[in-house]
């Protein structure tokens, strides 16, 4: 008899505390060094065994994805079935994260789908087959499947877990513009500005950079205003753009400082989420 439980998995937003682009590879990808971290805020994926496959979108950002049909969630489910079996599923994606925003929304959704299917069908979460599926779905999906602070190399799929800063208050801000990851990478100037350093996570992140910020800001100048506003808030430990943008984040020394910053930016019309690192 099929397991009729509904498995709910969080698809937490991914942050790149630093993102160093080292060079363009012969295969067309870029060699990266990045500090992955995750926050409480995110989407939700719910999976139930069913007689036929179905996919439902809910949540505040559902309408943006409604016309896609094929997406990373349905691809993840199809590839899980090819690798592990498990039959048909009803999948609901509750979409809370902005789309095409540099915080791994689609990648996190795919990874949450894989975790939910693994839980439903008794597959170990560290099964190499799961990570092989994740790697085939996209460069950030393995990190989102791991779901913890890590140093990523290669395309980002070579992961080394490191000590995180769980509980650190974070404010996410998106100016309401989408930017193309491919266009941002095409705009990278090709200069290798050196590797990520060593030491405590916050020190490494502060000494680092996001090499995709300049091309993203050229495409979407709205990012300039977000970064300037975040950096000017009292109690900020680090303000930076995540991934290829346009979402930016700030780490704060206290919940009170983060909440005051969120209130100060309330009139800008930007999407905001007050959260914490996990």
Active-site amino acid positions: 14, 140
Which helix (DSSP H) or strand (DSSP E) does residue 50 occupy?
strand 30-50
Six token digits for residue 229 = 């506003």
> Residues near 147 by Cβ (< 8 Å), separated by ≥ 6?
12, 38, 111, 115, 278
User: How far apart are alpha carbons 104 and 93 in whole angstroms?
Assistant: 15
Q: Find where tokens 């877990």 sit.
A: 161
Using alpha carbons only, how large is the chain's radius of gyration in Å? Answer: 18
> Residues near 84 by Cβ (< 8 Å), separated by ≥ 6?
117, 118, 121, 123, 129
User: How far apart are alpha carbons 170 and 99 in whole angstroms?
Assistant: 19
List phi, psi (to 5°) of 101.
Answer: -125, 5
First to last CA, the chain: 36
Q: Which of 108, 105, 101, 107 is nearest to 226 (CA)?
A: 101
Which helix (DSSP H) or strand (DSSP E) does residue 237 occupy?
strand 236-241
């Amino acid at each position: 008899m099929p397991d009729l439980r509904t498995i709910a998995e969080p698809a937490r937003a991914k942050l790149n505390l630093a993102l160093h682009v080292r060079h363009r590879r012969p295969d067309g990808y870029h060699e990266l060094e990045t500090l992955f971290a995750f926050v409480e805020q995110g989407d939700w994926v719910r999976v139930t065994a069913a007689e036929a496959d179905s996919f439902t979108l809910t949540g505040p950002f559902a309408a943006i994805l409604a016309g896609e049909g094929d997406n990373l969630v349905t691809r993840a489910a199809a590839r899980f079935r090819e690798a592990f079996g498990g039959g048909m599923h009803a999948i609901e994606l509750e979409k809370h994260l902005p789309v095409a925003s540099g915080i791994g929304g689609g990648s996190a959704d795919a990874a949450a789908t894989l975790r939910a299917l693994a839980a439903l069908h008794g597959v170990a979460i560290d099964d190499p087959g799961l990570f092989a599926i994740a790697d085939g779905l996209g460069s950030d999906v393995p990190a989102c499947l791991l779901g913890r602070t890590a140093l990523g190399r290669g395309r980002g799929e070579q992961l080394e877990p490191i000590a995180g800063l769980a509980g650190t208050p974070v404010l996410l801000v998106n100016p309401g513009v989408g930017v193309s990851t491919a266009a941002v990478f095409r705009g990278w100037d090709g200069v290798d500005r050196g590797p990520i350093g060593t030491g405590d996570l916050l020190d490494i992140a502060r000494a680092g950079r996001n090499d995709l910020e300049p091309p993203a800001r050229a495409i979407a100048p709205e990012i300039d205003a977000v970064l300037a506003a975040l950096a000017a808030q009292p109690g900020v430990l680090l303000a930076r753009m995540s991934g290829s943008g346009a979402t930016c984040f700030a780490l704060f020394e206290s919940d009170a400082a983060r909440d005051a910053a969120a209130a100060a930016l309330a009139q800008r019309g930007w999407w905001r989420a007050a959260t914490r690192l996990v």
